[in-house]
Chains A and B, each alone.
Chain A
Amino acid sequence: MSAAPALAPTPRVHLVGNPNAGKTTLFNALAGTRARTGNYPGVTVERRAATWRIGERSKHSEIELVDLPGTYSLSARSPEEQIAVDALLRDRPSVVVVVLDATSLQRSLYLALQVRETGLPTVVALNMMDEARASGIAIDEAAIGGALGATVVPIVASRGEGIDALARAVSDAIDAEVAPAPKITHDAATEADLRAVEEVAARTLDVTGDAARAWASWALLSVGAGDELRDVPAALRAIAEERQTKAEQQGRDLDLALVAARYAFLDRLTSTSVREARPARTLTDRIDAILVHPVLGFVAFALVMYVVFETLFSWSDPAIGLIEDGVGWAQGLARGGMSEGPFRDLLVDGVLAGVGNVIVFVPQIGLLFLLISFLEDSGYLARVAFVIDRVMKAVGLHGKAFVPLLSGFACAVPAVMATRTIASHKDRLVTMLALPLMSCSARLPVYVLVTGTVFAGESRIAGIFSVGAVVLLSMYSLSVVATLAAAAVLRRTAVRGPRPTLVLELPPYRMPLVRNLLGTTWERVRAFLVDAGTIILALTIVLWALLSFPKSDEVAVAHEAQRIEARAELEGDALDERLAVIDASEAGQQLEHSAAGRLGKAIEPAIEPLGMDWRMGVGVIGAFAAREVFVSTLGIVFGIGDDADEESTSLREQLRDARRRDGSKLMTPLSGVALMVFFVLACQCMSTLAVVKRESGSWKWPILMFVYMTVLAYVVTLGVFQIGSALGWGTG
């Protein structure tokens, strides 16, 4: 290292810790809730950083604080797990703060030891000291600090206790000479393996001493067949693999030897420095006696899931209504205050509608994340996974995939964001890619319109159920089957990986901090607005342009002539009525002339075998903004105005009377079912694509999702309509 420059750079402090150790609480306590969030390049993991104003407590007034993803170990097999080791061994922060749960030191010290092995200055924050004391755990902090070569500071992050002492310890550690890494004793053969790899690590990564040693043990534990690690020097990989193979040939268990040596060091340390009272039946056990009880557990589970569902499905409705009214009001204001023309249309139907399309998701995302953060921080989310994992396992999913899938019944956008609670990158991707097949609430208006059009009769199945209800139920069942099947197939194809497992800590129940809940929720909402929102806004404007341009002068002139005629002949209500009809007719003909209209006609040969015609095609294109827009787009195409909803009798009548070019009826029970099946399976939602881009960190996954869902929808709908037609079902 070169001599310190006159103006010292801002010290960087990295925060590492086990999940559930209170890392986020500590981060917020140190730096406030104003974290800057972004993604680590190319992975689905979020990077949180903030400026920690350490102030008068230190000569370093400001520190760059980085919150690393929660982990139990620095070893890695995927790029996501690799973030932690790269953040320490490649970024080399000034100090590492390791947050440990003081009530489970026997396990959590493992991470602290690994961090110290890197040779970086380390401060250990022993969190939840209040709980530890209450359960009779006595900890000799000095002994632990001495053995690890780190300052140990007892804290209670939730109450801000020990934060000043932690700040002092960090500040001191920045300037102090770093202690050497603890000496871990290995057997001779393992020691030889470590030496050999260490040498190559030192050469290829330009490191020395403890860092080289840490890279060596990291490589021996991490590198292996099927790993997806990045930027591991070829020579390092080669020597690690060579040593692993050799150990195997000699019948030595290298993984075990490396891990067991660490635990031997720690067990020796904790046997003298941590005294644990034999735990009585804890509060957590008493709660779990009910919450994971074979019978009561399901009742509790069902209740909690009901609340999740209702939150998304109905409790967020008033707020959504308010936003829609607000946007409508703003659109009215702009329409009234500006002169007619393309610029006004752009502002009203493009920009304002786009902003509306974005913020309309905020109530659902906000409420869902308040709820999920509460469940996660309280410890119950892990129990949700515990209770339902058996079911999820059957389709190759993780127990934690349940809440996102359930949320998918309301809306895929918050549901995709909810996959964040799934720790494994691949499990998370599979869930994210499959859940848009769940029948969301935006599909309901399409089902209602179609069943109201083609199954309006009073006929009942078995005398009880109306045909419409049975069809609706079938669509929901189809969506669940399709989601689970897609997950199972994706697991074996695009997101192939090691056999999915569940290795899940069940943390003690704890009362969540309101500050953390609000902080997490706001972070999610902001991430959505900034990253996904801009994409949704841009796509709304593109879609608006497709549906509006080019305009036909001929159509405009013809309708203007009709208007003049009407004004001359009629007055009062009769005139208004006539003018509305003319407006609607003009809108319909202009839409037919627009790029979307032409596109609809261009794809007609492709969608005809599905039972659709070009008007449906235009509706499908319009529905890309949001599926329910299918209904209003059809309203425009059929010339009855843009305010038609799924209950509109005139739209239903128009649809019932509509004919194809060959004169046959457009909407038959069969083509209706085909259309609904298409809407169950097709990825008709740009907001979902935008949020998958945001959450997966690349365009690769939303594109894959769009392609597989579209192909699936096309093939299945084709099968339904063609087989149905051949058998003569519901064609009349």
Chain B
Amino acid sequence: MENVRNDSRKLTGFLAHLLKMVLNKIMSLTGSTRLGDLPVGSRAVVAEVQCDRGVRRRLLELGVLPGTSVEVMRRAPLGDPIELSLRGYRLSIRGDEAHGIVVRDVVAEDARVASPVGATSPE
């Protein structure tokens, strides 16, 4: 039983990895991926913060740094702003700022649910 579970985990993990690579490939063809483009539920790692200096400095000091992993939790009912989860807290920023944040290693919502990391979540 344990073996079967492990194998299926490995398989889903592999599939997730594959999906991620394909996704990243597509993204790299269309240019850099922006946090603002990610669907709700996606996770990614911040690669670059390219906003105006004032906002940029605030975001950096709030821990939105290259290397920080963020999750897009939800969009406001009117589509903007968005809610992010990072460093154990929730931050809301507008789409304008979210489009200034370049991300990498995107894990889409579907892949995450199937991935070993997501599997520990009760959802």
Chain A interface (Cβ within 8 Å of chain B)?
72-73, 75, 77, 103-107, 110, 221, 224, 226, 255-256, 259-260, 263, 276, 278-281, 284, 288, 292-295, 297-298, 382, 385-391, 393, 399, 498-499, 501-508
- The CA-CA distance from A297 to B92 in the complex, in Å, is 16
- The CA-CA distance from A221 to B78 in the complex, in Å, is 35
What are the residues of chain B within 8 A of A387 when measuring CB–CB?
76-78
- Does B59 lie at the interface of the complex (its beta carbon under 8 Å from any beta carbon of A)? yes
Contact B61 A386 (CB under 8 A): no
- Does B54 lie at the interface of the complex (its beta carbon under 8 Å from any beta carbon of A)? yes
- The CA-CA distance from A221 to B94 in the complex, in Å, is 23
Contact A503 B55 (CB under 8 A): yes
Residue of A nearest to B76 (CB): A386
Encode B66-93 as 1/0 by CB contact (under 8 A) with A: 1000000010111111010001111111
Q: From the candidates A255, A298, A382, name the one contacting B92 in the complex (CB within 8 A).
A: A382
What are the residues of chain A within 8 A of B121 when measuring CB–CB?
278, 280-281
What are the residues of chain B within 8 A of A75 when measuring CB–CB?
57, 61
Show 10 residue pairs from A and B whose CB-CB distance is below 8 angstroms, ordered by the A residue. Answer: A106-B63, A256-B66, A260-B66, A278-B121, A281-B123, A284-B90, A390-B81, A501-B93, A502-B81, A503-B59
- The CA-CA distance from A320 to B93 in the complex, in Å, is 41
What are the residues of chain B within 8 A of A105 when measuring CB–CB?
88
Residue of B nearest to A73 (CB): B61
Q: How far is the CB of B79 from chain A (nearest CB, A)?
A: 7
- The CA-CA distance from A498 to B56 in the complex, in Å, is 12
- Does B5 lie at the interface of the complex (its beta carbon under 8 Å from any beta carbon of A)? no
What are the residues of chain B within 8 A of A505 when measuring CB–CB?
62, 89-92
- Does B120 lie at the interface of the complex (its beta carbon under 8 Å from any beta carbon of A)? yes
Q: Which of A107, A281, A295 has the most CB of B within 10 A?
A: A107
Q: How far is the CB of A543 from chain B (nearest CB, A)?
A: 44
What are the residues of chain B within 8 A of A278 when measuring CB–CB?
120-121
Contact B61 A259 (CB under 8 A): yes
Q: How far is the CB of A709 from chain B (nearest CB, A)?
A: 30
- The CA-CA distance from A498 to B52 in the complex, in Å, is 9
What are the residues of chain A within 8 A of B59 when measuring CB–CB?
503
Q: Which of A105, A288, A503 has the most CB of B within 10 A?
A: A503
- Does B37 lie at the interface of the complex (its beta carbon under 8 Å from any beta carbon of A)? no
Q: From the candidates A77, A256, A499, name the one contacting B65 in the complex (CB within 8 A).
A: A256
- Does B96 lie at the interface of the complex (its beta carbon under 8 Å from any beta carbon of A)? yes
Contact A390 B63 (CB under 8 A): no
- Does B31 lie at the interface of the complex (its beta carbon under 8 Å from any beta carbon of A)? no
Contact B88 A298 (CB under 8 A): no
- The CA-CA distance from A256 to B54 in the complex, in Å, is 12
Contact A72 B80 (CB under 8 A): no
Encode B112-123 as 1/0 by CB contact (under 8 A) with A: 000000001111
Given A256-B60, A293-B77, A390-B78, A77–B92 Cβ distance below 8 Å?
A: no
Residue of B nearest to A259 (CB): B60
Contact B65 A107 (CB under 8 A): no
What are the residues of chain B within 8 A of A295 when measuring CB–CB?
77
What are the residues of chain B within 8 A of A294 when measuring CB–CB?
77
- The CA-CA distance from A288 to B83 in the complex, in Å, is 11
- The CA-CA distance from A367 to B122 in the complex, in Å, is 42
Contact A389 B76 (CB under 8 A): yes
Contact B61 A110 (CB under 8 A): yes
- The CA-CA distance from A278 to B53 in the complex, in Å, is 34
Contact B76 A107 (CB under 8 A): no
Q: From the candidates B49, B61, B88, name the one contacting A103 in the complex (CB within 8 A).
A: B88
Q: From the candidates B52, B77, B91, name the one contacting A506 in the complex (CB within 8 A).
A: B91
Contact A292 B77 (CB under 8 A): yes
Contact A255 B77 (CB under 8 A): no
Q: How far is the CB of A347 from chain B (nearest CB, A)?
A: 54
- The CA-CA distance from A386 to B78 in the complex, in Å, is 9
What are the residues of chain A within 8 A of B58 when measuring CB–CB?
72-73, 503
Contact A110 B65 (CB under 8 A): no
Q: From the candidates B60, B87, B94, name the one contacting A501 in the complex (CB within 8 A).
A: B94
Residue of B nearest to A282 (CB): B90
Contact B80 A389 (CB under 8 A): yes
Encode B10-52 as 1/0 by CB contact (under 8 A) with A: 0000000000000000000000000000000000000001001
Contact A263 B63 (CB under 8 A): yes
What are the residues of chain A within 8 A of B93 when measuring CB–CB?
501-504
Q: How far is the CB of A85 from chain B (nearest CB, A)?
A: 13
Q: From the candidates B49, B62, B66, B83, name the one contacting A107 in the complex (CB within 8 A).
A: B62
Contact B61 A389 (CB under 8 A): no
- The CA-CA distance from A179 to B81 in the complex, in Å, is 43
Residue of A nearest to B123 (CB): A281
- The CA-CA distance from A513 to B54 in the complex, in Å, is 35
- The CA-CA distance from A535 to B57 in the complex, in Å, is 41
Contact A506 B57 (CB under 8 A): no
Given A75-B61, A260-B66, A502–B94 Cβ distance below 8 Å?
A: yes
Contact B88 A255 (CB under 8 A): no
What are the residues of chain B within 8 A of A104 when measuring CB–CB?
87-89
Contact A110 B63 (CB under 8 A): yes
- The CA-CA distance from A288 to B74 in the complex, in Å, is 10
- The CA-CA distance from A388 to B121 in the complex, in Å, is 31
Contact A390 B79 (CB under 8 A): yes
Q: How far is the CB of B64 from chain A (nearest CB, A)?
A: 9
Q: How far is the CB of A229 from chain B (nearest CB, A)?
A: 13
11 more contacts with CB within 8 A, not counting A107-B63, A386-B81, A393-B80, are: A75-B61, A104-B88, A107-B89, A224-B53, A259-B57, A292-B77, A295-B77, A393-B94, A501-B93, A503-B91, A504-B92
What are the residues of chain B within 8 A of A110 when measuring CB–CB?
61, 63
What are the residues of chain A within 8 A of B96 when measuring CB–CB?
501
Q: How far is the CB of A630 from chain B (nearest CB, A)?
A: 39
What are the residues of chain B within 8 A of A391 when measuring CB–CB?
78
Q: How far is the CB of A18 from chain B (nearest CB, A)?
A: 9
Residue of A nearest to B80 (CB): A390
- The CA-CA distance from A389 to B65 in the complex, in Å, is 25
What are the residues of chain A within 8 A of B88 when measuring CB–CB?
103-107, 276, 279
- The CA-CA distance from A505 to B56 in the complex, in Å, is 16
Contact A501 B83 (CB under 8 A): no
Q: How far is the CB of A80 from chain B (nearest CB, A)?
A: 13
What are the residues of chain B within 8 A of A382 when measuring CB–CB?
92
What are the residues of chain B within 8 A of A389 when measuring CB–CB?
76, 80-81, 92, 94
Q: How far is the CB of A251 from chain B (nearest CB, A)?
A: 14
Residue of B nearest to A108 (CB): B89
Contact B80 A255 (CB under 8 A): no
- The CA-CA distance from A316 to B2 in the complex, in Å, is 66
What are the residues of chain B within 8 A of A385 when measuring CB–CB?
92
What are the residues of chain A within 8 A of B122 when measuring CB–CB?
280-281
Residue of A nearest to B122 (CB): A280
What are the residues of chain A within 8 A of B49 when measuring CB–CB?
256
Q: From the candidates B57, B63, B120, name the one contacting A255 in the complex (CB within 8 A).
A: B57
- The CA-CA distance from A280 to B120 in the complex, in Å, is 9
What are the residues of chain A within 8 A of B78 when measuring CB–CB?
387-388, 390-391
Contact B97 A386 (CB under 8 A): no
What are the residues of chain A within 8 A of B65 when measuring CB–CB?
256, 259-260, 263
- The CA-CA distance from A498 to B57 in the complex, in Å, is 13
- The CA-CA distance from A468 to B59 in the complex, in Å, is 52
- The CA-CA distance from A253 to B94 in the complex, in Å, is 24
Give 10 nearest A-B pairs by CB, closest first: A390-B78, A106-B87, A104-B89, A506-B90, A259-B60, A73-B61, A504-B92, A294-B77, A107-B87, A107-B63
Residue of B nearest to A504 (CB): B92
Q: How far is the CB of A224 from chain B (nearest CB, A)?
A: 6
